[in-house]
Structure 1
Amino acid sequence: MNKQTAFLTWQDPDSRDWHVIGVLEYEKEQYSFRYTQGSRATNNFVPFSGMENLTKEYRSSGLFPVFQNRLLSSKRPEFPKFISWLGLNHETANSMDVLTRSGGVRGTDNLQLFPKIELGEGGEFEHVFFVHGVRYLPESAQKRIDSLKSGDVLYACLDIQNEFDNNAVLLRTQNPPELLGYIPRYLSLELFSILTENQNTMCFSVELISNEAPESYKLLCRVQGSLPTELQHSFMAGQEYQPLTD
């Protein structure tokens, strides 16, 4: 299996800003974790217990506790249904697959994971993600989501007047037009400027609808596109993404 990479984000409780504070990797049955430059963006971030040294690379044959605690036990009766909501195969999905697809979110803290999106030789990429903010939509939007089918084309709308996120991107249907929610911030941060220049470089579609799932796992979407050559080197490679140790 190729190396799997996930970035860990943390929300500052004061500013409410999100920062990339670490990178988790899995390769050859070994996990590694390094803090990134984003962990020094604010004095409010506190390193994890047993991982207090910001400049050390941590290695383990098992998943670190801070991440293991974010996984639903496979012994739980609802586990197969949960994996199906994620659009994963319960026989082949590993812990990294589950963490990056679900975000590893817990209601008791302000941490979230997302996968590194790999680019092809020509800058092409493909990524699957959950739409955010479904719970805040009107009833008409909720009904429209329930009627969607896998493969349905969706359209990106730049929410330029969003006072909380300058890079917010909404997804909508075509006929009739209906707003369905937001693409994740880690994704809109990378794609907003590209969509501003030329929306034809990206194609959004419905991957999976899980009507029985909680709102956060109801609408799974796919984006396919390509990046211009001049932006490929900076994709998911900003200052906050850089490890504090080589």
Structure 2
Amino acid sequence: MSLVSVSNPQLAPDTDSSVHELLVLWQHPDTRRIHPIGRFCFDGTEYTFDYTQHAGNIANFRPLPGLPLVPDTYRASRMPTLFRQRTMSSHRPDFASAMADLGISPDMATPWEQIVHSGGRRAGDTLQFMQMPAIRAGRLHARFLTNGIRHVPVGGAINLDGTPHRVSSEEHERVLSSLIVGQSVEILPERNNPEDENSMVVTSQGVPLGWAPRVLSEGLRALGVTEGSGRTTVVRTAGPTAPPHVRLVIDVEADAPIGFSFDRAGDWDPYRA
């Protein structure tokens, strides 16, 4: 089962300059589970942030510094400090090379663009940001950073379609380095993943490369029924010196059945308790 066909990335319905909303994901320090805790937006002038309904239901959840858990929208002309700390100063000597890894020109690398392209992650961090999936005229578009790339060669076998796959570091790097923008890849269901029963794995040439974000995995499995009407393509790749989490960016486009949602329970809705 896959969502695959050759596509031209220039035809993607969302370009990076049109991204105005991100889903804020938080990893629980004890369970390590990824939770959708916020919605972060920028309209070109004003930043807004809302906690999600899900955040309000997490036991012992501690609000982010400077952003109290209240049923109101945070609004400001400047990016919240906690989020701005996840961007890089243009005065750093490695700024140009870091922006090249993200696929953006240093002249265009505003704090918002950096967050959009990098996912806002830092080493040992518990926060990451994902573009909000969109459905327009019955067509879904989702873009995400491939998760867990560095864990594939060192972890256990990955069970795809009943066949265990164990990948060497050399094979993993060979396939990753061979990918080009616009190339089709596959997203396949993984069996017996103890962390996510709906786990979906990004593969190419039969080699597992990493995982789709857990918040999308159940929905991606559901979209597998539309095989033949969807496509999964490479949007951006970065070399082995780049941080693992930014090495592979994927676009998924597919027909969305009436009533389809990645958030059927309303967990991503703004917190208004």
Gapped runs of 5+ residues in structure 2?
Answer: 1-16, 154-167
SS in structure 1 opposite 2:235? strand
Runs of 4+ in structure 1 deviating by more than 4 angstroms, as ranges, are none
Is 1:49 paired with 2:65? yes
Q: Point out the more displaced range, 21-30 or 84-93.
A: 84-93
Is 1:190 paired with 2:219? yes
Deviations 1:189-214 (A, max 9, x none): 4312212x233233122233322323
Is 1:97 paired with 2:113? yes
Check conservation: 2:63, 2:69, Cα contact below 8 A.
yes
SS in structure 2 opposite 1:45? coil
Is 1:85 paired with 2:105? no
Higher relative contact order, structure no. (Cα contacts within 8 Å, ≥ 6 residues apart)? 2
Match of residue 207 from structure 2: 178
Q: Distance in 2 between matches of 1:21 and 1:199?
A: 31
Is 1:130 paired with 2:157? no
Check conservation: 2:66, 2:82, Cα contact below 8 A.
no
SS in structure 1 opposite 2:134? coil
Letter aligned with residue 259 of structure 2: E
Check conservation: 1:168, 1:188, Cα contact below 8 A.
yes
SS in structure 1 opposite 2:136? coil
Pairs aligned (count): 240
SS in structure 1 opposite 2:185? strand
Is 1:12 paired with 2:31? no
Q: Point out the more displaced range, 59-68 or 217-226.
A: 217-226
Check conservation: 1:70, 1:105, Cα contact below 8 A.
yes
Match of residue 227 from structure 1: 256
Match of residue 180 from structure 2: 149
- TM-superposed deviation, 1:65: 0.7
Match of residue 158 from structure 1: 189
Q: Distance in 1 between matches of 2:83 and 2:222?
A: 32
- TM-superposed deviation, 1:108: 4.2
Match of residue 87 from structure 2: 71
Deviations 1:126-165 (A, max 9, x none): x443222221222211122112222322112100321111
SS in structure 2 opposite 1:153? coil
Check conservation: 1:203, 1:224, Cα contact below 8 A.
yes
Structure 1 213/107 Cα, relative in aligned 2: closer, same or farther at 3 Å?
closer
Letter aligned with residue 100 of structure 1: V
Q: TM-score, normalised on structure 1?
A: 0.86
- TM-superposed deviation, 1:77: 1.9
Letter aligned with residue 148 of structure 1: L
Q: Distance in 2 between matches of 1:194 and 1:113?
A: 23
Q: Distance in 2 between matches of 1:80 and 1:11?
A: 30
Match of residue 234 from structure 2: 206
Q: Distance in 2 between matches of 1:144 and 1:28?
A: 38
Letter aligned with residue 202 of structure 1: G
Check conservation: 1:23, 1:33, Cα contact below 8 A.
yes
Superposition RMSD in Å: 2.3
Letter aligned with residue 141 of structure 1: H
Q: TM-score, normalised on structure 2?
A: 0.78
Check conservation: 1:22, 1:34, Cα contact below 8 A.
yes
Q: Distance in 1 between matches of 2:45 and 2:19?
A: 10
Report 1:100-119 matches (<5 A): 100-119=116-135
SS in structure 2 opposite 1:91? helix
Query: Identity, % of aligned pairs?
Result: 27
